[in-house]
Amino acid sequence: MSKRVIFHIGHGKTGTSAIQKFMVNACKDNRNFAYAKTARAPDGGHHTLYSANHDTYDLLLQEITQCNVSNFVISSETGLPNMRHFSQQNDYKFQFFSELAQTFNVYVIYYVRNHFDILESAFLQYIEDSDKSFYRDLCSGDNEIIELARHRFTERYFNPGIDAKDWINNAPTRQFDYFSNINDFWEPLLGRDNIITKVYNKDSLLSRDIVTDFLSLLSFELDLGAREKIENNITPAFLKLPRHFIYDASTIEKVKYTFAESAVKYAKRYLNTHDAKLLTKGF
């Protein structure tokens, strides 16, 4: 049987850290799969792979080829989901993925999330990482701070300095164009049948757990018994503030304008009926 190579290209805020921590520990004593060592960061993710140089891709190909396992896994929420922006046809990255697909059974596992949920969660993570003082003030629930946060949210994802039709084509907003992420890069390389995708939502995950669900998609058994307990990565602001507090009527319309078409197209092409409803809720 040909070796399977699995790229987990989950977005941040879709349980990727939990998956990566588990994979690092599980691969130590398992002969059924390998978790790439090339370009792996200390926290377990392959975050720099999207921007790595030619030598790194050569090393990864060598590791995949020489590794005596039937399943090989790479995981990154950075760059790989929207690789269409970081690789052009016939550059060394594109050639790497193309050669890989011709030699092995290559799959993509892609967790997406409802846009109203992921934009708010990603923004709060960004604020927590970049402006801790403001984040602490926001967690207090002060109405003036909430209004300022809404303004900063709009500036980050819906830049008033550019035409609204171009929001979806500019970073960081463009990463959430799920349909283009898959349709413009991964599907032409791998084919529709090798794209495995679900919505990150407790109502969709097996046993309401991201690691359990991820393992079910891999279609090979790993021992969950030795799994380290991983606490739910709940954004602290949500302990004080309700979900979707960042949205007012204006920002809701901006999200709809920017992402509705992509979300609906993605749901129709890549998701089952249940997950399609979860992804398009609010549009």
Q: What is the CATH number of the domain that holds 24?
A: 3.40.50
Contact call for residues 279 and 114 (beta carbons, < 8 A): yes
Span 55-94, pLDDT tens digits: 999 999 999 999 999 999 999 999 999 999 999 988 999 9
Q: Are residues 212 and 141 in the same domain?
A: no
271: amino acid identity, one letter = L
User: Looking at the predicted structure, is the pLDDT value of residue 246 above 90?
Assistant: yes
* For residues 2-31, average pLDDT: 90
Q: Does residue 133 carry a pLDDT above 70?
A: yes
Mean pLDDT confidence for 22-27: 89
Kindly indicate the confidence band of residue 219, based on its pLDDT and cuts at 50, 70 and 90: confident
Residue 227 lies in a domain: no
Q: Provide the pLDDT confidence category of residue 26 given band limits of 50, 70 and 90.
A: confident
What percentage of residues in the chain have a pLDDT greater than 70? 94
Q: Which residues, in sequence order, are bridge partners of residue 106? A: 5
Q: Is the dihedral of CA 134, 137, 138, 139 positive or negative?
A: positive
**Mean pLDDT, residues 27-40:** 88
In terms of C-beta density within 10 A (0-12 exposed, 13-18 middle, 19 or more buried), how is residue 31 classed?
exposed
The whole-number average pLDDT for the span 250-263 is 98
Q: Does residue 268 lie within any of the structural domains?
A: no
> Is residue 140 located within the same domain as residue 153?
yes
Residue 144 lies in a domain: yes
10 and 59 housed in the same domain: yes
Q: Identify the residue whose tokens are 């402006």.
A: 131
Is residue 99 located within the same domain as residue 190? yes
Query: 33-35 and 105-112 as β-strands: parallel, antiparallel, unpaired?
Result: unpaired
Residue 225: predicted pLDDT? 57
Domain for residue 282, yes or no?
no
Residue 225 lies in a domain: no
Contact 162, 170 (CB under 8 A): yes
| pLDDT exceeds 90 at position 42 | yes
| Structure confidence at residue 2 (pLDDT) | 82
Give the mean model confidence (pLDDT) for residues 231-239. 68
Same domain, residue pair 38 and 139: no
Position 222 scores a pLDDT of: 65
Indicate if 16 and 91 belong to the same structural domain. Answer: yes
Does residue 104 share a domain with residue 56?
yes
**Is there a single domain that holds both residue 49 and residue 168?**
no
Mean pLDDT, rounded, of the chain: 93
Is the pLDDT at 236 greater than 90? The verdict is no
Judgement on whether residues 28 and 167 belong to the same structural domain of the protein: no
pLDDT over 60 at 226, yes or no? no
Domain hosting 105: range is 4-114+174-218
- Looking at the fold, whether 141 and 209 belong to one and the same domain comes out as no
Residue 40 lies in a domain: yes
Residue 189 domain flag: yes
pLDDT, residue 135, reads: 94
User: Which residues have CB under 8 Å from 27's CB, separation 6+?
Assistant: 33, 34, 35, 73
Nearest CA to 16 out of 203, 210, 175 is that of 210
pLDDT at 19: 94
Considering the domain architecture, whether residues 62 and 101 belong to the same structural domain is answered as yes
Give me the mean pLDDT over the 175-204 stretch: 97
How many distinct structural domains can be found in the chain?
2
- Please report whether residue 223 resides in a domain: no
Residue 101 and residue 194 share a domain? yes
